Every structure is written in C-alpha cells, then in structure tokens.
C-alpha cells in the first residue's frame, strides 16, 4: 500500500521538543491532536476535524504536487468530487507551529487521507485525468 500511518506516542514533559508534533498530541479524538501520515514516503501532518482524520491540502500540494499549478490541482480535486473543509483557527495555529503552514497563512483547507491518496495518485499515475462536470464554472 502506498500510504502508511504513524502516530507518535506521548512522551514525558522532559523529553518533548517544543513545537514538535509529539508535543502537541494530547488524547485520542481531540481536535487538537496532530499525528504523522506518510503518503508516497512524504510525512504529512494529520489532524482530527469533527472526528475525521484529515490532511492539509497546501502541504500535500507543496510536497507531492509541486510540479502542478494551483488551478490544475483545484480542477482535479473538483473533478474527483473531493470537498475541501477548512480547519479551525486553533488547528491552523498548531499547523503553523509545526511548520506545516506558513505563519502568514489565514486558513487551511483539509481533505481526508483517502481523498489525498486519490488526488495524488491521479497526478502521479499514468491515467487520463478525470473530466470536470459539464456545468462547472469558477
């Protein structure tokens, strides 16, 4: 399988590194929990949004889809029927602290791990891209 999941364990306070993912892990199903999810060998920050593990679309784009434009990624996401959900302001702050998002970012769209895998595979595999719906407009 192309994706692997690795969740760091809680460490005693003396062993924590400030602003690392492990120092921000609190308890399961907490919306302030961050973990690491590996997609195509790249470590991505995974967060819990409304009980669902989600990945930052900007981080996916920057690490795995950097050869493609914003419009290409956006259009492919729409064609695949992938909905982007904004993270909370607290989660955005956590993403900034661990370096997953620039400090200047004002929002962060997230997609599920399965959606991320589908999106990345659609670019990296030799398959024809899906077509946009006929009634699609910006």
Which letter, b or e, does each residue of 93-128 get, where b requires 16 or more Cβ atoms within 10 Å of its Cβ?
ebbbbbebbeeeeeebbbbbbebbbbbbebeeeeee
Q: Is residue 135 part of a domain?
A: no
Q: Is residue 49 part of a domain?
A: yes
Q: Is the pLDDT of residue 7 over 70?
A: no
Rounded Cα gap, residues 92 and 104, in angstroms: 11
Q: Is residue 93 part of a domain?
A: yes
Q: Is the pTM of this model over 0.75?
A: no
Instruction: Specify the number of domains making up the chain.
Output: 1
Q: Is residue 131 part of a domain?
A: no
26 Cβ contact partners less than 8 Å away, ≥ 6 residues apart? 32, 33
Each residue of 55-67: pLDDT tens digit? Answer: 999 999 999 999 9
Which domain covers residue 92, as residue numbers?
A: 3-124
Each residue of 24-44: pLDDT tens digit? Answer: 444 445 777 899 999 999 999
What is the band of 50 on the pLDDT scale with cuts at 50, 70, 90? confident
Each residue of 87-120: pLDDT tens digit? Answer: 989 999 999 999 999 999 999 999 999 999 999 9
Q: Is residue 120 part of a domain?
A: yes
Q: Is residue 138 part of a domain?
A: no
Q: Is residue 130 part of a domain?
A: no
Rounded Cα gap, residues 96 and 37, in angstroms: 17
Q: Is residue 99 part of a domain?
A: yes
Q: Is the pLDDT of residue 21 over 70?
A: no
Residue 29's pLDDT is: 53
- The CATH number of the domain where 75 resides is what? 3.10.260.20
């Amino acid at each position: 399988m192309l994706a692997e999941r690795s969740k760091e364990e809680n460490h005693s306070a003396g062993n924590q590194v400030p602003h690392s993912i492990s120092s921000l892990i609190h308890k399961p199903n907490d919306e302030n929990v961050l973990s690491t999810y590996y997609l195509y060998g790249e470590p991505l920050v995974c967060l819990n949004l409304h009980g669902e593990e989600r990945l930052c679309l900007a981080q996916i784009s920057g690490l795995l889809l950097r050869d493609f434009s914003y419009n290409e990624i956006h259009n492919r996401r729409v064609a695949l029927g992938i909905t982007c959900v904004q993270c909370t302001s607290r989660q955005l702050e956590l993403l900034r602290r661990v370096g997953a998002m620039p400090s200047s970012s004002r929002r962060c769209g997230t997609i599920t791990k399965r959606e991320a895998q589908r999106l990345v595979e659609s670019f990296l595999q030799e398959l024809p891209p899906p077509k946009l719906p006929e009634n699609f407009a910006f």
